[in-house]
Amino acid sequence: MTFFNYSQPPLCRKQPTKAIQELEGLWYVNWEIGKIRLYSTFYTRVDQACILWSLLLLPIFVTAQFLPISWSLQATLWSILSGIGTIAMVSWTSYWVKVRQVRWVLFCWVILMLLGVVLTNLSIYLGWANILLNLCPLWLGLSTVGYICTGLGVRSRALIFIGILHLLLIFILPYIAPWQFLITGSFMALCLLLLAEFQWDGL
Average pLDDT over residues 150-166: 95
Is residue 12 situated within a structural domain?
Answer: no
Looking at residue 29, what is its pLDDT?
A: 79
Average pLDDT over residues 130-149: 96
* pLDDT category of residue 6 using cuts at 50, 70 and 90: confident
Is residue 37 situated within a structural domain?
Answer: no
Q: How many domains does the chain have?
A: 1
Integer Cα distance of 131 and 139 in angstroms? 11
Residues of the chain above pLDDT 90, percent: 65
Average pLDDT over residues 40-50: 89
- On whether the pTM is more than 0.85, the answer is yes
Is residue 188 situated within a structural domain?
Answer: yes
Average pLDDT, the chain: 90
Bridge partners for 40 per DSSP: 30
Is residue 64 situated within a structural domain?
Answer: yes
Is residue 15 situated within a structural domain?
Answer: no
Full domain range(s) for residue 125: 45-200
Is residue 39 situated within a structural domain?
Answer: no
User: Is residue 120 over pLDDT 90?
Assistant: yes
Q: For residue 125, what is the enclosing H or E element?
A: helix 103-125
Tens of pLDDT along 13-30? 887 664 554 467 788 877
Average pLDDT over residues 125-132: 90
